[in-house]
Amino acid sequence: MQNPIDHKIDLNDYLNRGNLLTEQSNLASVDLDCLSTYELVRLFSSEDLIPQKAVSKAIPQIINAIDSITKRLSNSGKMYYLGAGTSGRLGVLDAAELPPTFCSSPELVQGIIAGGPNALLKSSEGLEDIGVLAIDELSKRGFTSKDVLLGITAGGTTPFVKHALEYARSCGGLTIAISCVPLEQAKLICDIDIRLLTGPELLTGSTRLKAGTATKMTLNIISTAIMIRLGKVYRNMMIDVNASNNKLVDRAIRIMNELTDIDRPEAISLLAKTNGSVKLALLMVLGELDLDSAKRLLIESNDNLRIALKLSCGT
């Protein structure tokens, strides 16, 4: 990895970012340092309603992203979140939470942060200016035209993200950007442009606040909706939960109890037969199938329980 100290930044790279919405001063907090603790908490609580509105205004673009990503992932593609600083950490967090929640492969959705894993705990902010590092990461991971890059940059100017989006697009991949500034303030070359306009931060320029909150909300919506579309949810239950600890084993049992008429001991017995697969156990009970027939139907239905149950009616 290139040492940022050795990287010579062209003077033209020193942009005046004062015009960016995320860098402007918030008139509601000009005396922030003089407020009482009560006033601080009230003010932050009030401002944190804004991210919800920002996400709501971006619903059309979010829908487009979900449907487009699902199509890619259903055809052997992978998705990469990519960002620097807070944006990068949010992407890595969302990617890391999917395997235990949905039993998805860690390869399916991956998080890339400028500076690598060390940047999750220790600031590596200088690396966000080196765009070639993002290209190196995508190339190393074998990014192809089947894949999706979701670049996250609150201010829309991060070279690490901008270069990655351009590279991914040149590969024929689907490119999506999430930022918190208007299009006229920062253009991003991508297929789907999600703008979460949360306005100036109470602490000027600190985009880990409202911008970060809106970004986290959006990533939660996108990734959860994709997993629903991929058949990892039945009704409102995470039927592909990875029962890897006591809490998740208990959750798996309770899902079985709630969706069927079997009791707890029976649920435990079925989960043992299916090697912990809630989905397979549910299909056996609801479809009145033996283990081998249930496995076959899940394969035929592309691992979708609701479709498998419809097929079971004809078996």
d(CA 85, CA 231): 33
57 by DSSP, 3-state: which? Answer: helix
Within 8 A by CB and 6+ apart from 136, the residues are: none
Catalytic residue among 23, 47, 128, 137: 128
Nearest partner of 84 among 122, 125, 118, 121, judged by Cα: 125
Tokens linked to 112: 């890339």
Whose tokens are 């008429």? That residue is: 261
For residue 174, the cross-strand partners are: 148
Catalytic residue among 23, 39, 47, 97: 97
d(CA 46, CA 123): 29
DSSP 234: B
DSSP 235: T
DSSP 127: G
d(CA 53, CA 62): 14
Tokens linked to 313: 């009616």
Nearest partner of 222 among 64, 72, 57, 56, judged by Cα: 64
Alpha-carbon distances of 161 from 61, 83, 88, 135, 195, rounded to whole Å: 19, 6, 10, 9, 15
d(CA 212, CA 214): 6
Tokens linked to 121: 């705990």
Residue 49 near residue 214 (C-beta atoms within 8 A): no
Within 8 A by CB and 6+ apart from 294, the residues are: 280, 283, 284, 287, 308
Is residue 201 annotated as part of the catalytic site, yes or no? no
Is residue 125 annotated as part of the catalytic site, yes or no? no
Catalytic residue ranges: 97, 128
